[in-house]
A and B are shown apart, each in its own frame.
Chain A
């Protein structure tokens, strides 16, 4: 086990060369320090773990739209309605086809 962990740590240390300087309010800093202590992490590890997890979630949310009610109902209602083309879109399509088809 120890041999499996050691190279990973080494890898982490080797790659952790970048810096981000962040300014924050004293109360924010002490809250972070307290939370890191509770979780048994260094402040650096706590910040990195949370920021990376949040970044991944933001990217996932960007790539996947999660629909909950009432949005899912709006989407479902549109799916169940028969499709019709209103005048604006029909005209726009006509103009487009005249120019580009």
Chain B
């Protein structure tokens, strides 16, 4: 597969999204996601510090995939008495994978898995500085199964919202 470090294969690496990346050539097949990444929205979100964006690239130009990370708060309300001591009744911090997409030309190459793992790794590194309970995601169409395969847990009332606890991510990177 083309992401392996085989001979003649480009070596892919992650870096923050920058002007050098060819965003206009990117297509993941989801119109809304393509619009977000190819147009102004992602650049505005990054420049306003609403989100950070990272890309997977073999050469600093071509974008194999991207994802965004931003902070989010989780507020537990109406806690049953049995849980009142276990969960704080004020918001706790989590890292949101807001958007994630890989270029259609690399479908089936395991790019999604690499994007997710890199997002988890960065969230884990950040959690060593600013406390973070979980990585959460609002799964876009068709992506829910991918997150469940990777051990995210869906919520009951909003099944497209899933979480993976930081203590589990600790096991991966510690």
Q: Which residues of A contact B (CB under 8 A)?
A: 63-76, 78-80, 83-86, 88-90, 92-93, 95-96, 99-100
A-B contact pairs, 8 of them (CB 8 A): A64-B91, A76-B83, A76-B86, A78-B165, A79-B133, A80-B86, A83-B171, A84-B168
1/0 contact trace for B97-138 toward A, CB 8 Å? 000000000000010011011100100000000000100100
Are A72 and B113 in contact (CB-based, < 8 A)?
no
Chain B hits for A88, CB < 8 A:
149-151
Are B121 and A75 in contact (CB-based, < 8 A)?
no
Q: Is B46 an interface residue (CB 8 A)?
A: no
| Additional pairs, 14, CB under 8 Å, beyond known A64-B74, A64-B91, A72-B80 | A65-B75, A65-B136, A66-B77, A67-B75, A67-B76, A69-B80, A71-B157, A72-B83, A72-B87, A79-B87, A85-B171, A88-B149, A96-B113, A99-B3
Q: Which residues of B contact A (CB under 8 A)?
A: 3-5, 12-14, 72-80, 83, 86-87, 91, 94, 110, 113-114, 116-118, 121, 133, 136, 149-151, 153, 155-158, 161, 163, 165, 167-168, 170-173
Contact A83 to B168, CB < 8 A, known contacts A66-B75, A68-B77: yes
Interface of chain B, main secondary structure: mixed
Q: Which residue of B lies closest to A89 (CB)?
A: B151
Are A67 and B80 in contact (CB-based, < 8 A)?
no
Chain A hits for B80, CB < 8 A:
69, 72-73
